[in-house]
Amino acid sequence: MPKIYFLDVTNRDGVQTAKLGLSKLEKTLINIYLNEMGVFQSEFGFPTTRHESLYLQANLELAAMGVLRPIRLEGWIRAIASDVETAFKMVPNIRHLNLSISTSDQMIDGKFQGRKNRDDIISDMVEAVDAARALGVESIGVNAEDASRTGLDFLIKFGLAAKEHGADRLRYCDTLGYDNPFTIYEAIRALAENVGIPIEQHCHGDLGLAVANSIAGAKGAIDGGQDAYINTTVNGIGERAGNADLVAVILAATKSKGFADKYQLGGSVKLNKAWKIARFASYAFGIPIPMNQPGVGANAFAHSSGIHADGVLKDPENYELYSFKELGRGEPRFVETGREIIAGQYSGISGFRHVMGKMKVSFASKEEANEVLELARYANVASQTPLVEDELLFIAKYPKIAKKLLTLTPLE
Ligand SMILES: [Zn+2]
């Protein structure tokens, strides 16, 4: 029986969202938390963008060291052979790529304005797939941008051409959030049956249907005999109204009425990391988690009205579909209400030693302490928000990697 896998795109779709962004260290922590959670793949960035190079290389080093394992780290680029070549020049160790090109007439006509037709779209894409194969890539996903406004016959032709040239998956992008669960089910099932490779569901929330469409699309892929790869972002952060929220999709796939009886997750996904990753993403992006967010919102397990409070106290299952403990909630949180010493971009060694000492980190020498302090200062310059404990611990544990993440050299 085919299975459902999660392919998180926070570090690509999430960070390209207007008004939002993450530092390279924050992106790295997202990858680490996704790995701890058992997410199959992270679309970890843009291999043809210069300021991403050292971050991407550093994360591939973490993978080689076993820190970012077993998660797959995949880069997103345009489906053009020259972009594939540039990606390999800038990030030689890249092994997984998603290649993206627009497939709808709206976008072919509206973006290329007569310079490209449908045949050009397919030939650009297969040239890119061939180039990636020739350069030794291990896995290739091919993205049909605006697939939901693309005729099914052309999508099948596009998918078959991708498969013939060695693509491993086809990404069905509902780029504008136009689908509903009924239309996406039919489209993805037809693609699974006729193309015969695993299908990714990339859904947006412009109509409030991103999670529902992801689940319906996954059912379509599996009913069509193929694995389903649901694209998610942490807290649903992504272009415009956002993407399918990672935690909500996991909850929907595992807790909704009867779904998991037939449609199961591949690998083991640790839902109990949900609280940690959602809170970190909220902090790093600077966006509060909505109170009514599934699973991780402040009200997800709050009860006040007489009948509900009485019912949930007698038996939580009266008014709760799942337990807060399953999401990793319930630990008390300590907030300093008195004096605080914070590590920042202008910190000195004494305050820094105090902060690190509270986390039981000590240094072998004065030089080592100064080196880690210098890295923490630069990390704070990049984030402009106080570093969280895991960031400080990461810098102390992997100073060489941290230095790479913090090195930005424009216009060289
Ligand atoms: Zn998107």
Domains and CATH numbers, the chain: 4-277 (3.20.20.70), 349-403 (no CATH)
Residue 256's nearest CA partner among 300, 212, 221, 319 is 212
CA of 290 to the centre of ligand 1 (A): 21
356: which residues sit within 8 A by CB, 6+ positions away? 343, 362, 363, 369, 372, 392, 396
What's the rounded Cα separation, in Å, for the pair 229 and 9? 12
CA of 141 to the centre of ligand 1 (A): 14
CA of 13 to the centre of ligand 1 (A): 5
Q: Check residue 23 and give left, alpha or beta (phi > 0: left; psi -120 to 50: alpha).
A: beta
Tokens representing 370 are 């100064």
Phi, psi angles (nearest 5°) of residue 213: -65, -35
The pairing of strands 169-174 and 41-45 is unpaired
Say if CB 9 and CB 233 are below 8 A apart.
yes
CA of 171 to the centre of ligand 1 (A): 11
CA of 73 to the centre of ligand 1 (A): 18
CA of 46 to the centre of ligand 1 (A): 14
The long-range contacts involving 257-265, CB below 8 angstroms and separated by at least 24 positions, are 259/215, 259/219, 262/1, 262/222, 263/4, 263/218, 263/219, 263/222, 263/228, 264/1, 264/3, 264/4, 265/3, 265/4, 265/5, 265/6
DSSP state for residue 349 in the 8-state scheme: H
CA of 232 to the centre of ligand 1 (A): 9
CA of 394 to the centre of ligand 1 (A): 30
All residue ranges of the chain with pLDDT < 50 are: none
CA of 145 to the centre of ligand 1 (A): 9
What's the rounded Cα separation, in Å, for the pair 8 and 14? 10
CA of 230 to the centre of ligand 1 (A): 12
Say if CB 195 and CB 2 are below 8 A apart.
no
| Alpha carbon separation from 66 to 60, 93, 389 (Å, rounded) | 10, 15, 21
CA of 97 to the centre of ligand 1 (A): 16
Phi, psi angles (nearest 5°) of residue 180: -125, 170
pLDDT at residue 180 in the model: 98
CA of 175 to the centre of ligand 1 (A): 6
The pairing of strands 199-203 and 169-174 is parallel
CB half-sphere exposure, 258, CA atoms < 13 A: 1
CA of 336 to the centre of ligand 1 (A): 39
CA of 333 to the centre of ligand 1 (A): 34
CA of 322 to the centre of ligand 1 (A): 29
137: which residues sit within 8 A by CB, 6+ positions away? 94, 95, 96, 97
User: What percent of the chain is helix, strand and coil (3-state, nearest 5)?
Assistant: 50, 15, 35
CA of 406 to the centre of ligand 1 (A): 27
Residues 218-236 have pLDDT tens digits of 999 999 999 999 999 999 9
CA of 233 to the centre of ligand 1 (A): 10
CA of 335 to the centre of ligand 1 (A): 36
CA of 169 to the centre of ligand 1 (A): 17
CA of 12 to the centre of ligand 1 (A): 9
pLDDT at residue 411 in the model: 86
Length of the chain: 412
CA of 276 to the centre of ligand 1 (A): 24
CA of 204 to the centre of ligand 1 (A): 6
CA of 239 to the centre of ligand 1 (A): 6
CA of 321 to the centre of ligand 1 (A): 30
CA of 403 to the centre of ligand 1 (A): 31
Q: Name residues with Cβ closer than 5 Å to ligand 1, which is an ion.
A: 13
CA of 405 to the centre of ligand 1 (A): 25
